[in-house]
Amino acid sequence: MRKVADCREMPNDVGCTLMIAGEEDEVVRAAAEHGVSVHGEVDSFEYRASIRRSLKDEEPGYGARPSEAYP
Ligand SMILES: [Zn+2]
C-alpha cells in the first residue's frame, strides 16, 4: 500500500496542491524536501514526524474531492 501526502490537507500559505505518493519513507523524504523548498519549513525530526502522521493510505480515486475524514 502506498502512502500519500497531500498539501491540500495541511495548512499552507501558498495555496499548494501538490500530492506525493509512494512508499512511506520516500514520501516523508520528498515531502520534507518539498516543505523546505516551497513552504519555508525547517527540516527536523519533529517536522518529518508530523509529515509521517499526516500520511494516508493511497486509495483509488483519492484526490477527486476534498477529504472529509481528515480532522
Ligand atoms: Zn506543498
Q: How far is the CA of 18 from the centre of ligand 1 (A)?
A: 5
Give the pLDDT score at 23.
96
Give the pLDDT score at 67.
57
Give the pLDDT score at 36.
95
Strand partners, 5: 20
Give the pLDDT score at 14.
80
Give the pLDDT score at 71.
55
Give the N- to C-terminal CA distance of the chain in Å, as an integer: 22
Q: How far is the CA of 38 from the centre of ligand 1 (A)?
A: 6
- Between CA 2 and CA 54 the distance in angstroms is 14
pTM over 0.85: no
Mean per-residue pLDDT pooled into runs of 10, the chain (71 residues): 89 84 96 94 96 90 56 55
For the chain, the domains span 3-59
